[in-house]
Amino acid sequence: MSTTDLDPRTPVLVGVGQSSERIDQPGYLGLSAVELAAAAAREALSDTGTDVDAVAAAVDTVAGVRQFEISTPGAPAPLGRSDNYPRSVAGRIGAHPRRAVLEVGGGQSPQHLVNEFAATIAGGGAEVVLLFGSEAISTTRHLAGADERPDFAEHTDGRLEDRGYGLKGLVSRYAAEHGLVGAPEMYGLFENARRARLGLSREAYARSMGEMFAPFTSVAAENPYAAAPVERDAAELVTPTDTNRPIAAPYPRYVVARDQVNQGAAVLLMSLGAARRLGVPQDKWVFLHGHADLRERNLLERADLSSAPASVMAARHALEVAGIDVDEVATFDFYSCFPIAVSNTAVDGLGLSADDPRGLTLTGGLPFLGGAGNNYSMHAIAETVQHARAKPGTFGFVGANGGMLSKYSVGVYSTTPAPWQADGSAALQAQIDSWPAPPQSHKAHGWATIETCTVKHDRTGRRTGIVVGRLEADGSRFLATTTEGDDDILALLADGEPVGRRAFAKWTPRGNRVTTSEARMAELHPVRVPGFRDDYENILVRRDGHVLEVTINRPEQRNSLTPPANDELDEVFDAFFSDADLWVAILTGAGDKAFSAGNDLLWSAGGKPMWVPDNGFAGLTSRRSLPKPVIAAVNGFAMGGGCEIALACHLVVADQSAQFALSEVKVGLIAGAGGLIRLPRAVPQKLANEMILTGRRLSADEALHHGLVNRVVPAGTALDGARALAADILAASPTSVRISLQVMEETQGISDTVDAVSHPTDAVDDLMLSEDMIEGLTAFAQKRPAQWKNR
């Protein structure tokens, strides 16, 4: 097809550029991410072979790939960063685009942006689009501690279309709780599942990884932009040494994406009409013949963890749109953060061999060229365009992977003129989304089968096993980790053949744990027998007859709770509910400032591990039953989790200084320990909405007026007021009190009053058989105080 027959809005790639520097190179400048991207962008403008200033002035849209330091909330930027990365880069090259985009995170981003903005150009929504990305991670680490370190922070005016992090479905509290916080351990799970499916030994599989990646090192060794231009053989790549230390089984460091790089890459797209108008020579034009963008199901929703079929579907569909077969492709570049990212799509999906003479990379791959954050595939596209120009009429394939084998974008390139063709990714995505997902169990217990696993190594040599398993009872899938010191299960996971083997799982407050047998689990995590200790670190415990008084003893921290404090409270309330001689409990806070300020934010902000007992905050907020009365004596602030604790108690005595608030929204959290549910049931809905959405505080008198508390007493006397209320309860039959609570709990969810009254319960039978009922009636008839037995 002649280019004269094409619609002038047909998109075409007309310029590519790359930049890099290593801290050990002569002339090292310590460029920022913005400067590296600008250098690559200038190369892309120059690569058009026409007036650079005219092309820069014609750029109407810029789109940037996120750096790692802006890819997750709270990510550090020790040297500072731009607050408008796309426009900072545009300003460096003299461009003044009307539109600036900051793409979501993920290694699919560069190819996805090409696909998206090619369609935008074809639809008339843009004419000249500049795409770029960069990382200066190596420089940042190198200079962060320097006496005269550079300042990369900059403010740039102009509208920015920030698409967000794009982490939905990739990050979860459940995964993080079980050690899945980094890519190596996640990909290790997939890799080991694939090894089991293929039936290969550890040694044979490691050899196959090395044999696949050894040619990548040869390419990197010849690439002037490579961060690790060193050729290595297959054995060296997979043999653990001091420098090639284990990261997460089956990966040593050499086969893991290298993120300590200083690299930038850029791609310039235009409509054919703009290319002609700006004088771009036709030998610079490269067309996007095929393209696709698909997303895999979330980790635990995937039927088979040994493969990622969505990426294979994307690859095949892009070739279908291009109208070619895989045998007609001249060059490939497969995203290669870990071996399975290549083997899943190239080997298992497209049937290529690891030693295909065409090669599987043009750059050297992420472990060797460098894993330039989310921007690696921009380098792959640049190389593909250059190779396509060098051999006109041939086809180049780029496969870009993002997330955890999650998002895959593909482009097929050639100098052969071709009209723009829309892809059918949406229909394929609907098909993927309809696939059935295995059931899940977040709190696993019982015998299970190991589906896949990995062993994570830290720099101190500590190892942690991570398991995906299926419970034998119902087939539900769960995550679990090993217990420190459990060498038996580590030996199986690290050296044996664990996939398909039986193991025993148990939920703990710190997540699911797995080991070799039920007996071993009982040794590692014995069932706690309810009882009181002689002393506690975070609380004070006092028995006074039938009353238990529990004081949160962290006054300097406003009685905020850490995970160990929650554990102690959980233990104490277990003991209280199990002790027949204790009939009422009072919970209060030390000092006169606060009942409890809720969760200790300094603990969590400091990066310390977080967990909550099965029974919830303070051992109360998730407890399914509170069979005996618990009174909150609120002295001062009951904020956030402190208010949630008070809401969970049966009765609340507040002194005049008390204030109640669900203040979580003010610090970017939610009242997730029951406040969102209990408060609207305790006060008028509109008031609950206001308190939850604004953090509004209620005074003690307001709380009394709205029924949130039972009594208000003078400042400093909350505990005395709670003791008086407890005495009133103690005057009644403890059996009647306990059974009354039971019936109220049983009927709480029954909306119809008559149905609730008629609800059958064994509790009344227990009352009729109790000594307390007989004693109560006898004492009444004899006009004497009852002597309660609580049995």
Output phi, psi for 24, to 5 deg. Answer: -95, 5
Find, among 653, 652, 585, 593, the residue nearest to 619 by Cα.
585
Q: Rounded to whole angstroms, how far apart are CA atoms 628 and 674?
A: 19
Burial class from Cβ neighbours inside 10 Å (0-12, 13-18, 19+) for residue 534 reads exposed
Angle at 291 between CA 290 and CA 293, to 5 degrees: 165
Under DSSP, the state recorded for 357 is: T
DSSP letter at 345 equals: I
Instruction: Say how many CA atoms lie within 13 Å of 254 toward its Cβ.
Output: 25
- Beta-carbon contacts of residue 418 (< 8 Å; ≥ 6 apart): 1, 287, 289
Going by DSSP bridges, is the β-strand pair 637-639/659-661 parallel, antiparallel, or unpaired?
parallel
Coil vs helix vs strand at 613: coil
**Residues sharing a CB contact under 8 Å with residue 638, sequence separation 6 or more, in sequence order:** 594, 595, 596, 632, 645, 646, 654, 658, 659, 660, 661
- The Cα 622–Cα 609 span in angstroms is 20
In Å, how far are 96, 290, 555, 665 from 42, measured between CA atoms?
14, 27, 60, 45
Interacting residues of 376 by C-beta distance below 8 A, sequence separation 6+: 107, 110, 257, 335, 337, 363, 366, 369, 370, 400
Per the rule left: phi > 0, alpha: psi between -120 and 50, beta: everything else, 360 is alpha
Catalytic residues: 644, 664
In degrees, to the nearest 5, what angle opens at C-alpha 336 toward C-alphas 335 and 340? 110
Q: Decide: 513 and 499 in contact? Cβ < 8 Å.
A: no
The residue type found at 181 is V
Tally of CB atoms within 10 A around 481: 23
Q: Residue 203 in 3-state DSSP?
A: helix
Angle between the N-to-C axes of helices 734-747 and 771-781, in degrees from 0 to 180, rounded to the nearest 10: 120
